A = this chain, B = another copy of it.
């Protein structure tokens, strides 16, 4: 006998769970459409080389679902959307009107050990503005992110957005004469709050002297002349000015500029940001994004871009943590009982002569076939809802 369990690390969306998923997707869409984004999608199957070429990345390595099709093509299930986005933009470069404001909610696959917040099959909202210089579009994507939270009814007590800028950090490192140690500083800042202060110090001490280490620590605390210098550099970065000015004026959002947001060693070239659930039980980043200017280089083309990704699993945890699910979604299935489907009602209206009589008497009725009052629970429920009569078809 076959097992009826789903494949490990994947989910069966029974109707109630599906209603929740639909609510999340629909609300993401609604918020992004208001912000001028349009939806795209692609096949989940891609040429495996699209991921393998980015050597050293685990997404293209041990986590990749790849295999050969019956024509011996080496194919893969997409582990993320960005390489695919690059492919389809490159493929119609001449026909598209830039900047593109595009979003998608791709189903993605990663072979990893299933755990809280991580599955083998998940959905990841991606939204990107493509083909536009740094500046206004970076602010726009931050605002679009905030509008997503607002569309779900989330308030500033529930989430926080933290942003940084790679150019500011680079310039600060340079101004403090640590250019040659940039890689180490990036790596340590990227994990700053995951380790203890002593552990961070120890890591930095492999290349930095004591003064330099103290400078870094002051910077992460946003204190002293180190932080003043960082802010001064930030205010002299033209593409960041509008962002700093605007975010300061947002009363209803907790948004912070901080040198500790790095987002790995990957392709980001300017703004980087993440959002966090303020509930300490859910401390993974809820979304991450930033400016990446070499999106299309795999295909020998260029389009400067800024984009964000967020996963459905973490997002659902956030909504559950803060009780942000609308009540009518949770109860929807229960309300269906005793509600006769349109198609059946149509049939019934044609086939029964009892209705005019019942209506004259002011009685409430429902339709059903194969209905046995004595053993059917539904009759009790219908009575509770004020139903007087069942019309059997």
Assess A92 versus B341: contact at CB under 8 Å? Given A133-B370, A242-B393, A350-B246: no
List the one stretch of A159-167, A187-195, A262-270, A332-340 in contact with chain B: A332-340
- Asked whether, in the complex, the Cβ of A344 is within 8 Å of the Cβ of B14, the reply is no
A356 at the interface (CB under 8 A from B): no
Bound CA–CA A136/B351 (angstroms):
12
Count chain B CB atoms within 10 A of each CB in A12, A90, A143, A341 and give the residue with the most. Answer: A341
Contact between B15 and A87 (Cβ–Cβ < 8 Å)? Answer: no
Contact pick for A45, options B7, B341, B370, CB 8 Å: B7
Bound state CA distance, A231 and B141, in angstroms? 66
Q: A2-B47, A347-B139 are in contact. Are A341 and B75 (CB under 8 A)?
A: no
- Interchain CB contact under 8 A, B42 and A12: yes
Q: Give complex CA distance A361, B88 in Å.
A: 44
Chain B residues closer than 8 Å to A62, beta-carbon distance = 70
B344 and A3 contacting across the interface, CB-CB below 8 Å: no
Q: Does A56 contact B (CB under 8 A)?
A: no
Chain B residues with Cβ below 8 Å from A2 are 47, 49-50, 53, 87, 298-299
Contact present for A369 and B249 (CB under 8 Å): no
CA distance A336 to B341 in the complex (A): 38
**Contacting chain B: which of A31-39, A176-184, A317-325?**
A31-39
Whether A10 is near chain B, meaning CB under 8 Å from some CB there, is yes
Contact of A369 with B92 in the complex, beta carbons under 8 Å = no
| Cβ B87 vs Cβ A341 within 8 A | no
Which range holds the interface residue count of chain A?
35 or more
Q: Which residues on B sit within 8 Å (CB–CB) of A49?
A: 2
Complex CA distance for A339 and B347, rounded to whole angstroms: 46
Would you call B18 and A41 a contact (CB within 8 A)?
Answer: yes
Partner of A350, one of B5, B6, B87, B249: B249
Q: Is the CB of A351 within 8 A of B10?
A: no
Which B residues are in CB contact (< 8 Å) with A91? 4-5, 12
> Residue-by-residue, is A77-117 near B (CB-CB < 8 Å gives 1, otherwise 0)?
00000000001101110000100011000010101000000
Within 8 Å by CB of A40, from B13, B50, B298, B393, lies B13
Name the B residues within 8 Å of A43 (CB-CB). 6-7, 10-12, 121
Interface centre among A36, A144, A333 (most CB of B within 10 A): A36
CB distance from A232 to the nearest CB of B (A): 22
Is A73's CB within 8 Å of the partner chain B?
Answer: yes
8 pairs, A vs B, C-beta closer than 8 Å: A5-B91, A18-B41, A34-B343, A36-B336, A36-B341, A67-B68, A136-B368, A136-B369
